[in-house]
């Protein structure tokens, strides 16, 4: 590439007015890029703020329906549901995870009935239902893989039966995508998408999320035997390749901003839709800094999401989704 010398080349020419800057802008962010994660809880016409996530609350199903309506009106194409489960329903066998009438499945049916145009994404992992706080079943202190996959498949089928449009396996068990895809096809759910958490790192950025779903105090040990080592990049590519081969329609990198290099590698090497999750810790840091007046909140919010698009992401899961949609409008 050859670049002319000054003064023939002046990069400031194309920056000299808002109109020119818009014309040469390389990356665009729109509401079409957004998935809004929301937390749901039991009860009626109520919500509970999450202290470690300012501006975020756990919503009862009726309020989640209203949130879905608001999201659709803003042009947000999808929401993602995460349940806050009563401790009395948490067990070692995690049976509540695939109950047709569990909190997630009831919320999915209610939202699809009231706001059919919005896509509902659900989470597939056992930690909200596990008395041990892990994403898989624990036997003698070990998170067992194959038995966990069997449970996750039942969970996937129950969510598909409830009307979920996108399933989000976040468990990081080996072989779960292939098993879910085969079960979905056999059950007649061939059009249900799988957005696999293919590169999910064992990260310290998840702390506020675990507070939001009520898993923080229950977790025994850590998740290092199934989530990724933050030092690894090539492993992420192998995991993404495997999940795409097993039937994932889309893949996710989680967390987001600390792993923009992984987002870019994945989008370049595979050409499949790559999503990033701007996780609870990322949101909480930005929101806290903005609330304290240390940064320009609206600008840094949009700038942080633009980074994902610049790295090649097809979309972003972000708690800022409604605020961003309003700002873009």
- Active-site residue set: 200, 254
| Beta-ladder partners of 48 | 58
Output Rg (C-alpha) for the chain, integer angstroms: 20
Please state, in angstroms and rounded to a whole number, the distance separating the CA atoms of residues 72 and 233.
Answer: 36
Please count the other Cβ atoms lying within 10 Å of the Cβ belonging to residue 14: 12
Please state, in angstroms and rounded to a whole number, the distance separating the CA atoms of residues 325 and 95.
Answer: 37
Write the DSSP string, 68-108: HHHHHHTT--EEEEEE---GGG-BSS-GGGG-TTSHHHHHH
Per DSSP, 228 falls in state B
Please count the other Cβ atoms lying within 10 Å of the Cβ belonging to residue 293: 8
Extract the tokens encoding 2.
């050859």
């Amino acid at each position: 590439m050859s670049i002319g010398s000054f003064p023939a080349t002046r990069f400031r020419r194309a920056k000299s007015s808002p109109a020119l800057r818009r014309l040469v802008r390389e990356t665009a962010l729109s509401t079409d890029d957004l998935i809004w994660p929301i937390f749901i809880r039991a009860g009626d016409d109520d919500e509970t703020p999450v202290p470690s996530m300012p501006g975020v609350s756990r919503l009862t199903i009726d309020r989640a329906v209203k949130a879905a309506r608001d999201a659709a009106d803003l042009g947000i194409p999808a929401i993602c549901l995460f349940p806050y489960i009563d401790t009395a329903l948490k067990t070692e066998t995690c049976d509540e995870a695939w109950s047709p009438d569990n909190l997630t499945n009831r919320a999915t049916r209610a939202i699809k009935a009231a706001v059919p145009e919005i896509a509902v994404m659900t989470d597939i992992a056992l930690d909200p239902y596990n008395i041990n706080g892990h994403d898989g079943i624990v036997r003698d202190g070990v998170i067992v893989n194959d038995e966990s996959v069997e449970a996750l498949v039942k969970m996937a089928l129950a969510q598909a039966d409830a009307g979920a449009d996108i399933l989000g396996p976040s468990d990081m068990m080996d072989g779960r995508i292939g098993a879910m895809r085969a079960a979905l096809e056999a059950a007649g759910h061939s059009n249900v998408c799988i957005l696999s958490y293919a590169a999910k790192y064992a990260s310290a950025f998840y702390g506020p999320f675990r507070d939001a779903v009520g898993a923080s105090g229950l977790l025994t040990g850590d998740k290092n035997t199934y989530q990724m080592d933050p030092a690894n990049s090539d492993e992420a590519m192998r995991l993404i390749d495997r999940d795409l081969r097993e039937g994932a329609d889309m893949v996710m990198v989680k967390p987001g901003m600390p792993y923009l290099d992984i987002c870019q590698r994945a989008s370049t090497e595979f050409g499949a839709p790559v999503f990033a999750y701007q996780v609870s810790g990322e949101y909480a840091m930005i929101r806290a800094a903005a609330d304290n007046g240390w940064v320009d909140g609206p600008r840094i919010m949009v700038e942080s999401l633009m980074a994902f698009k610049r790295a090649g992401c097809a979309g972003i899961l972000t708690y800022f989704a409604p605020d961003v949609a309003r700002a873009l409008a």
